[in-house]
């Protein structure tokens, strides 16, 4: 009987010891898991928070925010400040006056040339990002038919809106197109200022003071002007307008959207990475194409 009691006792002691070992192993495993979790969290949180400031041409107002959101999904530590969408000339002037940004995207090569000349962007980062087309738009309720630029000089068209060619690239392209059709002449002085003399057939129809292509679109939409020169991408941005005519590619300079990292950038590496993302990510490309842009 004593032997049996002793055997039971030994079994109990052994079981208790085994339970203790297993408990310690469990704690060790849990501790390791917690350590690994902490290390993983530390790895994620070790990425410094970055907020990019982008200056971009007006016509990117719909497409770019969607691409920025996509970029943030893939790079959670990077967010975007309130992107400045304005006429390219206005943006370059703001940078020259001391405004700070990480990335500039303009709607013309000449606007980016100005930024390079002003020393506000890093020339070595300059990249042509997108192409666009110049179109004549009408109100969605207007059934006027335009088959050539010459139609603008006829009774078909009562008023024509274009952006200020000295600040709005679309306005500059419009002048080039109209000049190719013999409807105006233009000169550019040593400072780059464009002066235009309109042909008598359209002189009384022209409103050339719009401060952006968006303003041109609003003039047409509201009926202030019957037709206006905008980009293909603007048709996707604004309700109430439609394409009446697409200008020939050889009637104006190629419409390019160059981008460059600003010399005032506080996040130059991330700005360059975002610019590359715009050009290489398939989902980003699909967004730009949805809004009428072609990758350069």
pTM of the model: 0.77
Mean pLDDT of 102-114: 96
What pLDDT band is residue 42 in, cutting at 50, 70 and 90?
very low
Radius of gyration of the chain measured on its C-alpha atoms: 31
What sections of the chain are H helices per DSSP? Answer: 2-45, 63-74, 88-96, 109-118, 169-180, 213-222, 232-237, 268-280, 282-290
Q: Assess contact for 80 and 68: CB atoms under 8 A.
A: yes
Tokens standing for residue 285: 């490309």
Burial letters 191-221, b for 16+ CB under 10 A, else e = eeebebebbeebeebbebebbbbbbbbbbbb
**If one looks up domain 50-131+255-295 in CATH, what number appears?**
3.40.190.10
pLDDT per residue over 260-284, tens digit each?
999 999 999 999 999 999 999 999 9
Domain pair 50-131+255-295 / 134-251, same fold: yes
How far apart are the C-alpha atoms of 157 and 230, rounded to whole Å?
A: 16
Tokens standing for residue 228: 């206006």
The answer on pLDDT for 64 being more than 50 is: yes
DSSP state of 84: E
Domain positions in the chain: 50-131+255-295, 134-251
pLDDT for res 46: 67
pLDDT per residue over 167-182, tens digit each?
999 999 999 999 999 9
- Domain 134-251 in CATH 3.40.190.10: yes
The answer on pLDDT for 121 being more than 60 is: yes
Tokens standing for residue 147: 């088959």
């Amino acid at each position: 009987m004593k032997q049996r009691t002793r055997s039971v006792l030994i079994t109990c002691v052994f079981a208790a010891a085994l339970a203790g070992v297993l408990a310690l192993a469990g704690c060790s495993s849990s501790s390791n898991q917690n350590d690994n979790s902490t290390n993983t969290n530390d790895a994620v949180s070790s990425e410094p928070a970055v907020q990019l400031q982008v200056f971009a041409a007006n016509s990117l107002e719909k497409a770019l925010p969607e691409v920025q959101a996509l970029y943030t999904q893939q790079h959670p530590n990077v967010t975007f400040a309130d992107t400045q969408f304005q006429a390219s000339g206005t943006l370059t002037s703001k940078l020259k006056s001391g405004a700070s940004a990480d990335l500039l995207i303009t709607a013309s090569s000449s606007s980016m040339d100005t930024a390079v000349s002003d020393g506000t962007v890093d020339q070595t980062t300059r990249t042509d990002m997108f192409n666009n087309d110049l179109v004549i738009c009408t109100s969605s309720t207007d059934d006027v038919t335009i088959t050539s630029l010459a139609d603008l000089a006829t009774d078909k068209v009562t008023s024509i809106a274009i952006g200020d060619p000295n600040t709005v690239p679309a306005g500059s392209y419009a002048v080039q197109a109209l000049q190719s059709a013999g409807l105006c002449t233009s000169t550019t002085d040593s400072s780059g200022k464009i002066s235009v003399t309109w042909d008598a057939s359209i002189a009384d129809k022209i409103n050339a003071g719009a401060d952006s292509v968006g303003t041109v679109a609003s003039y047409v939409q509201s009926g202030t002007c019957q037709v206006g020169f905008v980009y293909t991408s603007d048709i996707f941005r604004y309700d109430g307008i439609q394409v009446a005519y697409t200008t020939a590619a050889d009637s104006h300079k190629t419409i390019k959207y160059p981008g460059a990292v600003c010399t005032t950038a506080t996040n130059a590496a991330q700005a360059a990475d975002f610019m590359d993302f715009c050009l290489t990510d398939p989902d980003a490309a699909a967004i730009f194409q949805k809004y009428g842009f072609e990758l350069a």
